[in-house]
Chain A
Amino acid sequence: MLMILKAFLVGGLICALGQVFLDNTKYTPAHLLVTLVVLGCIFTAFGVYDWLLDFSGAGVGVPVSNFGYILTKGVLLEAKRDGLIGLFKGVLEVASAGISASVIFGFLVAVFFKPRK
């Protein structure tokens, strides 16, 4: 139960800060998502993201910055194992589930539904 509360607080905060970004700049949600993913990568590089995940679970696992985390995580894992070639092999290693699910569900929903209002 505590973790759910922490996920609410931390995840909500990330989203609310994103809202501040949208309301005070001319940028679009697409810019915001890209910024968050890049920040996720950088936080992972310094080990901060692992700590945040331990602390708040889905609070940082559900926001899109988590893509940055899993992409970087894969690169670092493979780089340690295979060196230079691992940099390429690792990018989609951990992120595979999320990206595949997005593309596959995205396509399937498009097959069955039409945009309405």
Chain B
Amino acid sequence: MKRTGKTVYFDTPPVMLATSAMAGEMEGKGPLKEYFDKVVDDPYFQTQTFEKAERKLCGMNCQNVLKKANLQPDDIDFLLAGDLLNQIVTANFCARELQIPFIGLYGACSTMIEALSLGSMLIDGGYAQHIMAFASSHYQTAERQYRMPIEYGSQYPPYKQWTVTGTGAYVLAQNGIGPKITHATIGKVMDFGIIEPNDMGSAMAPAAADTIAQHLKDLGRTPDDYDLIVTGDLGQVGKTLTRELLREINYDVDEVLEDCGAMLYSQEQNTGSGGSGAAASAIVLASYLYQKLTLGEFQRIMVVGTGALLSPVSSLQGDTIPGIAHGITIEKP
């Protein structure tokens, strides 16, 4: 079995052939703006509804990543994708256009890393040569599904996160040149009893810490073996909690821990604790991190997708918020 402990390793590490990241207005004003393929300022993206806009952006991004990889939809063996909307409609409707055999995934905001883990397994297992994966989220569609209407004047606490508008798409290949995915750690669902739906960073931090610890333990590594351990969308609060949870079990990640959600916005943008949403890890990995890996500025990084597995119904019924985290290790070409 290609596994040490709970961590999967790949004999022939799949190559990240191409990536594409498109983002919304808020992200386009943040510190990573120069790394995106495209920034769309209009939340409607010239469509009638926010949901259609999210779909349109995803479709465009998929075409872009295919172009960058110099492939046709026919060349792709499987499409793995997901998003935050009910019944993952964004991914489903994009798959309808692409006509690639499709595996729909839901891991809340961990979906991107879930898709890349599974895609790597399919390739290394010999079931596919080319995999396409994407995940998306959209501020307005998520806000109206999970919280109150957008124009409703409710006051948010300082630790509330800002849902990222954007989508990241990837083409993985058996051969080629690009950063390589060497390991994947599939996390288990953790729940430390958080109830407040405005505080998803705290709900996901235990899962992130658990997956990071599991990964390091399985491979017998320390945090210093990585240039960066970057979580998906914990925000400042969740990042701090993850760091402290790891410190309690004797892992010191002070130097290497970062968070995609926290990296996306600057202090002046008033986004509370930072970004959240499936797009957070999807666009940061597809843009900034991918480019730095390609240039060799990072030797090896671990990306940990984090998801808060709540639904508006479970929230109203008083259930606590379970969290999940999946990690992959990526090395420079």
Contacts and interface: CB of A to CB of B under 8 A. Distances in A.
Give yes or no for direct A-B contact (beta carbon below 8 Å).
yes
Interface of A: 22, 26, 28-29, 114-117
Interface in B134-171: 140, 149-151, 154-155
A116 B196 contact: no
Interface string B159-196: 00000000000000000000000000000000000011
B43 A116 contact: yes
Contact of A115 (B151, B195, B196): B151
Interface string B112-147: 000000000000000000000000000010000000
Interface residues of B, number: 10
B162 to A, nearest CB: 11
A116 to B, nearest CB: 7
Nearest 4 A/B pairs, CB to CB: A115-B150, A115-B151, A29-B154, A26-B196
Nearest to B48: A114
Contact of A22 (B149, B150, B155, B195): B155
A26 B195 contact: yes
Residues of B contacting A: mostly: loop
A67 to B, nearest CB: 18
A35 to B, nearest CB: 16
Contacts, number: 15
Given A115-B140, A117-B150, 13 more contacts: A22-B155, A26-B195, A26-B196, A28-B154, A29-B154, A114-B44, A115-B149, A115-B150, A115-B151, A116-B43, A116-B150, A116-B151, A117-B43
Contacts of B154: 28-29
A21 to B, nearest CB: 12
B61 to A, nearest CB: 22
A19 B16 CA distance: 50
A36 B151 CA distance: 22
A110 B161 CA distance: 28
B127 to A, nearest CB: 44
A26 B150 CA distance: 20
Nearest to B195: A26
